[in-house]
Amino acid sequence: MINADTEVGLAARVRSLTRADHEAAETTPFVTDLMAGRLDVGAYARLASQHYFIYETLEQAAAALRSDPVAGSFVAFGLDRLPALCADLHHLRGSGWRTEISPLPATRDYLSRLREVAFTDAPSFVAHHYTRYLGDLSGGQMVKRALRREYGVGAAGTSFYEFPGVAAGAVKRRYRELLDAAPWSAAEQNRFISEVKQAFHHNRAVFENLAA
């Protein structure tokens, strides 16, 4: 059980308590090799293919919780990535991309977890939403620059990392304000933080599958 500290906002707590989980995910060999230019465009296409399944399920959960009084505020940011992913995969793999991809074992586990908790429980949904979309607005921008610099992937293949009309800094600030204002009990806050850890675990497992 994670102890709730009422003197520190939830946004700061989750960032502090999951820092090691975050670093473990972003320093896997697949990620470090991709960022350093030691892989190829095909490796990025395989990553984007796994993202497709993850975001398809997460955005289905978002639709299910759109009217939730807390979760709905996070859905309302309009950060959906699925249309951009589809465009990138069409560019990277061709028009038949959807019939050529399938989820890796770690991705299937990730999807199972999303289906188990993210469609009905607001703290759990927000945990997965937070892990993915705030990551895309932050570290994802470094990934985009590495893809363009190291592999020559242009805008047509990296639209996943573009958020037209979104002021990233303002969204991230507002997102953290909403976390701090969420009327969750101590148990719900603990569940949120624990689920963020779980999300990082699943992302790390996907990277390890991709490396294998």
State which H helix or E strand residue 76 sits in.
none
State which H helix or E strand residue 157 sits in.
none
Predicted confidence (pLDDT) per residue in 75-133, tens digit: 999 999 999 999 999 999 999 999 999 999 999 999 999 999 999 999 999 999 999 99
Could you tell me the pTM of the whole model?
Answer: 0.94
Domains of the chain: 10-211 (1.20.910.10)
Q: Which residues of the chain are under the pLDDT cut of 50?
A: 1-6
CA nearest 166: which of 81, 78, 92, 97? 78
* 8 Å CB contact between 105 and 96: no
* 8 Å CB contact between 57 and 85: no
Distance CA 159, CA 111 (A): 23
* 8 Å CB contact between 209 and 104: yes
State which H helix or E strand residue 70 sits in.
none
CA nearest 114: which of 176, 71, 55, 63? 55
Distance CA 108, CA 142 (A): 27
pLDDT at 3: 47
